Amino acid sequence: MIVKMTKIRIMGPKGLLPVVTDLLHGLGVIHVESRPPDVHRIEEILLRRFSIGAPTVHQKETLETLLERVKKLLLLLPAPPSAATQAPMIELQDRPFNETASKIEALAARVDQLTGKKKVHADELSILDRYEKILQALSPLISHVRESRDLDYLGIAIRIKERNVIPLLEQAMAKLTRNQYEILYAQADAELLAALLVFPKGNYTQVKSLLWEEAIGELRLPSSIMDKPLGEAFKIILHKRQDLPRRIRDADRELDELSRRWYGSLLTLRARLENQINQILIAASFYETKMTFVIYGWLPTADFETVRAGLTDRFGGRVVMDPIPVEEEERGQIPVTLINPPFVRPFEQFTKILPLPRYGTIDPTPFIAVFFPLFFGMIIGDIGYGLLLLAAAGIVRRRFRGDPFIRDFAYVFTAASVSSIVWGILYGELFGDLGEKLGLHPILMNRMEGFLQNLFLALAIGVVHILLGVGLGIFTAIQRGRRPEIIAKLSGFVLVVGFLMMTAGIMGFLPRSAVAVGLLSVVVSIPVMILGGGPTAAMEIHNLVNILSYLRLMGIGVASTALAFAANKLGGLVGNMVLGILIGGILHALNLVFGIFSPTIQSLRLHYVEFFENFFQGGGREYKPFRKTTWERSA
């Protein structure tokens, strides 16, 4: 259900505003309203927007700068494995701001230095890695070449499949150096040939141009050793190749150490800085007179007395909080938050996929909690699949205990799998017809034979669901006091009931007199609907078609059963028991995967499209209380 809200106004002397703000921040239940409509009427006379003041703005900027540093540090430092659960360290707590800031600066400088070094080493290593094969191939060739003041070297790499370039290169080198050159070759790997060009120093520029013209890949050395002779450079590279990983490990070790020492404190500091900044920012939503501050907002009605008592205890009547009437124009802007019993709450995840319901309308979560497992179970309807799903949901719940989102979905699928088991018992299905072979018999119907029975069951469930939706629509319309909507919904209800009576009478399920009553209801309800509810009310007729949409409960269910039967049949046809079990198992596994996805989507669709259409009004404004963040929430 949607939590009942009260609109409030808090007033007090301006001098108390920082303390009041801190108290409200700690209580964490007030949704501050920045532009309540009633302010506009009196602001020109008395109220004006609260002015934060230059020193506070400066303070906010300083805090934001520090917060950015802290965030950057948290990104750069490796998170210790226990960061999610450990109690935050308090090294920075209760220190003067300047001392904290200078500590963070020093830490940031060291971390920047370490990460910078690490990056340089890693980049260099990646270049060396790229050339490792070529270097390994070229290094023995270097020893054959005598170091000389008159000679120069260039390393090149040629793809084996482009080796026809070699004669052209040799020809060009001969012409360029007047036969004063040598090329030493070594195969780097199956695809790459490494070569060392040796030539007179004076030809260096021309040789480089030649390589560029022939599009031959010259071995480019890292900038730090570019000016060294090739032989010496190779030695340095080989040494670096061994040395760089050690340097990277050293930097990592120091970063780990810094992280162990500081990470918890940084998380705490980040939460504290965010809280301080938010306390400054929220003041921009407050109002003031010459002597007082005024805060408008919303809070759950259930918390009203507690907050008022808290303010009275603390300030002894100098700060007052009063409920104020809600203006007509802001009814759609009342913040919305949902509250449901623990066994219904996980289903809120499905409600939250759509925009929140508007304040004053109906929260559909309890209905989803009943009908989603029902539909899901009806579609899967297999004891074996239900048990497997139940086990999987149990494992996920245990494994992701700390993640509320996954935990909620695991709970939802636990309920859905129990429903699948119950429907499986009713259909007499255990991995398709395997149950029948083991002596299991259907209580309700055999889905592979009782198609029409199944079809009527799906339609009956559709009728109940749609009529419930229309009923909720009538209730909402009455609550909102909208007469055309009430007439449209009521006549829509009569139309569906009348049509059903007529059909049941024709089919012989009800006495013939029901046909006349039903026909009369249909004939009367349509004009009443359009005349009383307006032309758009004719959309209510759509409910008749919507009921047919529930046939998917049968359709998808039968498809799932047929696949399970096929899995058993194919498994049995193989003739080899092990292979048969393997094939059957794979097909059942596939069916189960479809069996999770498809029933979920189809069940949700029946809610979102057919059911919600009758009463759900989205577009609710989320309730965002002004509350302190903790290091866990901030993380």
Compute how many other C-beta atoms are within 10 angstroms of the C-beta atom of residue 380. Answer: 32
Least separation, in Å, of the C-beta of 44 and other proteins? 37
Least separation, in Å, of the C-beta of 534 and other proteins? 25
Nearest residue (CB) to other proteins, 134 versus 336: 336
Nearest residue (CB) to other proteins, 177 versus 600: 600
Nearest residue (CB) to other proteins, 385 versus 611: 611
Q: What distance lies between CA 514 and its chain's CA centroid?
A: 52
Q: Output the six-digit token pair for 328.
A: 């007509």
Angle between helices 404-427 and 577-605 (to 10 degrees): 110
Nearest residue (CB) to other proteins, 193 versus 556: 556
Least separation, in Å, of the C-beta of 462 and other proteins? 11
Least separation, in Å, of the C-beta of 543 and other proteins? 14
Nearest residue (CB) to other proteins, 136 versus 549: 549
Nearest residue (CB) to other proteins, 491 versus 546: 546
Nearest residue (CB) to other proteins, 21 versus 602: 602
Least separation, in Å, of the C-beta of 209 and other proteins? 48
Nearest to 535 by CA among 473, 484, 585: 484
Phi, psi of 2 (to 5 degrees): -90, 130
Chain residues that interact with other proteins, rule: CB under 8 A:
353-355, 451-452, 455, 548-549, 551-552, 554-555, 601-602, 604-605, 608-609
Least separation, in Å, of the C-beta of 355 and other proteins? 8
Least separation, in Å, of the C-beta of 389 and other proteins? 21
Question: What span, in angstroms and rounded, lies between the C-alpha atoms of 360 and 504?
Answer: 37
Is the separation of the CB atoms in 280 and 59 below 8 Å?
yes
Q: Which residues in 255-369 belong to E strands, given as ranges?
A: 287-288, 292-300, 320-323, 335-336
Least separation, in Å, of the C-beta of 605 and other proteins? 4
By residue count, the chain amounts to 635
Question: What span, in angstroms and rounded, lies between the C-alpha atoms of 492 and 126?
Answer: 71
Nearest to 30 by CA among 292, 321, 314, 235: 321
Nearest residue (CB) to other proteins, 511 versus 618: 618
Nearest to 63 by CA among 21, 104, 112: 104
Nearest to 28 by CA among 274, 286, 313, 307: 307
Least separation, in Å, of the C-beta of 565 and other proteins? 16
H helices present in 35-90, as ranges: 37-43, 54-76
DSSP run (H or E) holding 466: helix 451-480
Q: What distance lies between CA 395 and its chain's CA centroid?
A: 21
Nearest residue (CB) to other proteins, 76 versus 562: 562
Q: How many helices (H) and strands (E) does the chain have?
A: 20, 12
Pairing of strands 621-622, 151-159: unpaired
Radius of gyration of the chain, Cα coordinates, nearest whole angstrom: 38
Nearest residue (CB) to other proteins, 128 versus 559: 559
Least separation, in Å, of the C-beta of 354 and other proteins? 4
Q: CA dist 264 to 75, 77, 279, 614, 629, Å?
A: 13, 11, 23, 51, 15
Question: What span, in angstroms and rounded, lies between the C-alpha atoms of 477 and 332?
Answer: 15
Least separation, in Å, of the C-beta of 550 and other proteins? 9
Amino acid at 295: I
Nearest residue (CB) to other proteins, 310 versus 555: 555
